[in-house]
Every structure is written in C-alpha cells, then in structure tokens.
Amino acid sequence: MTLSSTLYAKAQTLIPGGVNSPIRACRAVESEPLFIARAHGSKIVDVDGREYVDYVMSWGPMLLGHAHPVVHQAAKDALDAGSSFGAPCPAEVDLAQAICELMPAVEMVRMVNSGTEATMSALRLARGFTGRDLVVKFDGCYHGHADPFLAAAGSGVALIPTSFSQGVPKACVADTLVVPYNDLDALKTLFAEKGKDIAAIIVEPAPGNMGLVLPRPGFLEGLRALCDQYGSVLIFDEVITGFRWSLGGAQGRYGVRPDLTTLGKIIGAGFPVGAYGGRRDIMEKLSPCGPVFQAGTLSGNPVAMAAGLANLRELAKQDYAALEARTGAFAEELAAIVRSKGVPVQLNKVASAFTLYFTETPVTDMDSARTSDAKVYTAIYKQMREQGVYLASLGYECAFTSFAHTEEDLAKTLAAARALKL
Ligand code: PMP
C-alpha cells in the first residue's frame, strides 16, 4: 500500500471523493490520485518519493516551472510583510499595470480569487452594461463552476452524463444559449433571432477544456463582427490561454480584440488569483464607480499579487517561440509513436499546449472531440504514470509544457511512449 493510497482512503472519509476538485480523483482514467509532496521545475514528487515529468503543471499556471526561485522570493518577501490587509496594497497596482501593458484591450482590471470568479463577474458586468440577460457559450467550453456556465461545459463537467450539474436551477441556465464551437453559421442564425437580447458571447478563444481545439480562420473575427453588429459584449476567457499563447495571450496571437477578458492561472503563478478586465467604459460600471456589484475579502491579496507580478516579469524575459518549436516537435513525435502502434491520432497544438485525440476525425469542436477513444487515453495515462510521466487525468484537457522542461524530460517521455502497449 503506497502512502498515496493510504491518504486517499482517509481523504475519502473526510472530503467528497477524496478530492477538492473532481477530476483530481482520476476516475476517468480508472486510477487513484497521487498525493503530491513537492514540485520543482518540470517535476513533481509524490508522497512516496516518486518523481514525475509533469505535463499538468497545476492545470496551466506553472509556465515558468514549479517553485521558480524569483517568484518564490517575491512571495516570501510579501509574506513577511503580512498575508492579507483587506485594503489596497502597492503590488495590486503594479500587477494591474503589467496586465494592461501586456494586453492592450484590458484598459482596467479587477482582481478576484479564481477563474470562476472572473467569468461569473465578467458576465454580471456584461449583463449590467447592456441591460440584457442572454449569454452565448460554446459546447465544450468550460468557464468555471458558476451556475450560468454549467450548461454543456467541458473539462470535468463533460463526465456528468447530461453535461448539466444538478443543483443549478433551470432559471439560471435558461438564459445560456449553447452553440457548437467553430460554427459561425449557427451563431449568425441565433443572433438573427435573438441578437438584440444577447448581453455577451463568452468563449475560450482556443478551447482547452475539450482537449485543445483551435479556432478556424475567421471564427474569432466573426464573433467580433456579430458583437459589434448587435451591441453584445465579447468576452474572451483567457484563463488558460492568457500569457501562454503569447505574452499578450490568445488575443495578441490571433489579433482579435475582445471587450472583456477573464484571466486566472498564470497571473497568480500558482496562488489563487483570477482577474477580469477590458474596456474602460464597461469596467467603470463596477462598484464603487457604478451599479454592478462585485467584491472580495481576499481579492488583490498581497502575496498572490507579488508572486503574479514576478511571474509576468520573468515570463517577459522568456523565448516563447523557442518553447513553441520545442513543444511542437515533441508533440509531433509523440503522436507518431502512438500512431506507429496502430492507433489513429489527431494532434492539436499551439504554443506550449497540445492534445492527442485517438480518432480518425479531425477535432474542431466538442462533438468531434467525443469521438476520441477514452480507453486508449486511459491506457496511455496509466502506463506513462508507471514510467514517471504525469499526464492530465482526463482526455478532454491539454498537456502543458513549461520553460523548465528540458530536452532530457522530453526524451524520457518519448522513451516511455515507445514502451507503451496499446
Ligand atoms: N475558464 C477556463 C477557460 C478554465 O480552464 C478554468 C479552469 N480550468 C476556469 C475558467 C475556472 O477557473 P478556476 O478553476 O480557477 O475557478
């Protein structure tokens, strides 16, 4: 019995499913969670002392790698000055400035404590600004666990047979309209019918929660045009893509300017942080300037702000193009190895993220993502873990590399892949 198993048994008596976020339980891949003792660079180490090359990276935040010394020193220094004040602190102004400089569409920004808070607040703001209720989301996009987004959502929600959570009153999702991702025609039809009542489109510009799916040329531009035509607010949920797709996020990479942007993960460097920002005229509707209320006891937490700021400053010194080239070549080779074992593979990749789908069908939306053979993913997950490679515990996720991943890490991973029995 490993220490992880012992802890998991105990955890299940105390915490529902033994975990504080569902897919950590590894049920989709018929495994048990590893309990993690520590992490450094590209590696995590479980409580039994086994080290793994990590492609989860805390589901995205750790783009510099785990326990980056500069980021940690910034957090430690901030901590020495006190862990929370419930009052403004200098670091939140500096982080706000850094975000606004890197993402010009973000003219003002409000800090919160998670991606979920960021998206639910951005939607409230869009509704308050437009005086409309309807929101359009895309099948398989995940925007956190606030009620209006728990309709046809990706990530762990996709494992619930209906893709709808119980406990969400029908009224809370009645105003959520769901359209297939990449389907501009369906969206145009919807807007022709209901456009003047649509407060916002919320979209992961390149979804990472049905695995990784890329926008078709013209798709994001089409969203922009529809929002302009009908006076709806375009919200880019960049909780995953922000500062990963490029320093300026997906919006910088694809050259489409949203009205509002939601952020999380990387801006907190692993601390619990989210943020939402965008057009000044919209942001100034927020309390205390305007009538849309949103607040947070720990928002702008000084330790998280200091870590996030150090993270963005360090990221600005990195070579994104080199990491993308390295990750892309690695992902291609991984796909080729799996294909050589007689399994059909579709590879979607961009920047330092990729997903392998085990299907003949190119994956462009949630329906095509569902054609991926989950049994193959389960086999790969288990066998790679046995060999010291830590992958996401669900096929509808991205694999992430970081600036800390070395050639040696990638070579070790490819060697493990060559040994797979599929
Ligand atoms: N939006 C997106 C695109 C996400 O991927 C996630 C989380 N994976 C969220 C929102 C919610 O963020 P959090 O888990 O911090 O609430």
Read off the CATH number of the domain in which 113 is found: 3.40.640.10
Average pLDDT over residues 215-232: 98
Distance between CA 164 and CA 150 in Å, rounded? 6
User: Which of 24, 62, 143, 266 has most ligand 1 atoms within 8 Å of its beta carbon, as the pocket-test mutant?
Assistant: 143
Do residues 236 and 279 touch, judged by C-beta distance below 8 A?
no
* Domain shared by 396 and 301, yes or no: no
Q: How far is the CA of 1 from the centre of ligand 1 (A)?
A: 34
pLDDT for the residue numbered 311: 98
Q: Which atom of ligand 1 is nearest to the CA of 264?
A: 15
User: Which of 20, 113, 116 has most ligand 1 atoms within 8 Å of its beta carbon, as the pocket-test mutant?
Assistant: 116
Do residues 271 and 307 touch, judged by C-beta distance below 8 A?
yes
Whether 310 has a pLDDT exceeding 80, the answer reads yes
For the chain, the average pLDDT equals 97
Whether 156 has a pLDDT exceeding 80, the answer reads no
Distance between CA 383 and CA 386 in Å, rounded? 5
Q: What is the ipTM of this complex?
A: 0.99
pLDDT for the residue numbered 391: 98
pLDDT for the residue numbered 152: 79
* Domain shared by 145 and 19, yes or no: no
Strand, coil or helix: what is 397?
A: coil
Distance between CA 33 and CA 4 in Å, rounded? 7
Q: Which two tokens stand for residue 276?
A: 């939402």
Q: Determine phi and psi for 191, rounding to 5 degrees.
A: -65, -35
Q: How far is the CA of 305 from the centre of ligand 1 (A)?
A: 18
pLDDT for the residue numbered 170: 87
Domain that residue 171 falls in: 69-315
The DSSP line for 319-366 is -HHHHHHHHHHHHHHHHHHHHTTT---EEEEETTEEEEE-SSS---SH
Do residues 236 and 248 touch, judged by C-beta distance below 8 A?
no
pLDDT digits (tens, 9 = 90+) for 358-405: 999 999 999 999 999 999 999 999 999 999 999 999 999 999 999 999
Q: Which DSSP symbol is given to 370?
A: T
Q: Which residues are 50's β-sheet partners?
A: none
Nearest Cα neighbor of 282 from 273, 274, 291, 271 is 291
**pTM higher than 0.90:** yes
Q: Where a domain ends, among 291, 315, 339?
A: 315
Do residues 363 and 154 touch, judged by C-beta distance below 8 A?
no
pLDDT digits (tens, 9 = 90+) for 273-308: 999 999 999 999 999 999 999 999 999 999 999 999
With left for phi above 0 and alpha for psi between -120 and 50, is residue 18 left, alpha or beta?
left
Q: How far is the CA of 150 from the centre of ligand 1 (A)?
A: 12
Q: Which two tokens stand for residue 159?
A: 């494992």
Q: Where a domain ends, among 289, 315, 341?
A: 315
Average pLDDT over residues 168-188: 94
412 vs 165 pLDDT, higher one: 412
Distance between CA 92 and CA 265 in Å, rounded? 16
Distance between CA 313 and CA 5 in Å, rounded? 39
Length of the chain: 422
Start-to-end CA distance of the chain, whole Å, equals 27
* Domain shared by 135 and 266, yes or no: yes
> What percent of the chain has pLDDT above 90?
94
Do residues 122 and 274 touch, judged by C-beta distance below 8 A?
no
Q: Which two tokens stand for residue 72?
A: 């940690």
* Domain shared by 182 and 298, yes or no: yes
* Domain shared by 164 and 249, yes or no: yes
With left for phi above 0 and alpha for psi between -120 and 50, is residue 295 left, alpha or beta?
beta
Do residues 189 and 176 touch, judged by C-beta distance below 8 A?
no
* Domain shared by 173 and 76, yes or no: yes
Distance between CA 220 and CA 215 in Å, rounded? 7
Whether 163 has a pLDDT exceeding 80, the answer reads no
Average pLDDT over residues 225-251: 98
pLDDT digits (tens, 9 = 90+) for 249-271: 999 999 999 999 999 999 999 99
* Domain shared by 108 and 239, yes or no: yes
Nearest Cα neighbor of 219 from 242, 185, 192 is 185
pLDDT band at 208; cut points 50, 70, 90: very high
166 vs 357 pLDDT, higher one: 357
Q: How far is the CA of 107 from the centre of ligand 1 (A)?
A: 22
pLDDT for the residue numbered 162: 62
Q: How far is the CA of 262 from the centre of ligand 1 (A)?
A: 9
Q: Where a domain ends, among 280, 315, 350?
A: 315
* Domain shared by 115 and 151, yes or no: yes
Give the residue whose CA is nearest to atom 9 of ligand 1: 144
Outline where 164-247 has alpha helix (H): 170-174, 184-194, 219-230
* Domain shared by 277 and 387, yes or no: no
Name all residues whose Cβ lies below 6 A of ligand 1. Answer: 59, 114-116, 119, 142-144, 204, 208-209, 237, 239-240, 264, 274
pLDDT digits (tens, 9 = 90+) for 20-56: 999 999 999 999 999 999 999 999 999 999 999 999 9
Known catalytic residues are 142, 237, 265
Q: Which DSSP symbol is given to 151?
A: B
* Domain shared by 29 and 91, yes or no: no
User: Which of 23, 58, 119 has most ligand 1 atoms within 8 Å of its beta carbon, as the pocket-test mutant?
Assistant: 119
Whether 159 has a pLDDT exceeding 80, the answer reads no
* Domain shared by 243 and 375, yes or no: no
Nearest Cα neighbor of 184 from 197, 198, 203, 199 is 203
Nearest Cα neighbor of 351 from 406, 403, 412 is 403
Do residues 171 and 165 touch, judged by C-beta distance below 8 A?
no
| Domain CATH number, residue 354 | 3.90.1150.10
* Structural domains in the chain (count): 2
* Domain shared by 162 and 193, yes or no: yes
In one-letter notation, the amino acid at residue 50 is R
Distance between CA 343 and CA 335 in Å, rounded? 10
Q: Which two tokens stand for residue 133?
A: 């209720």
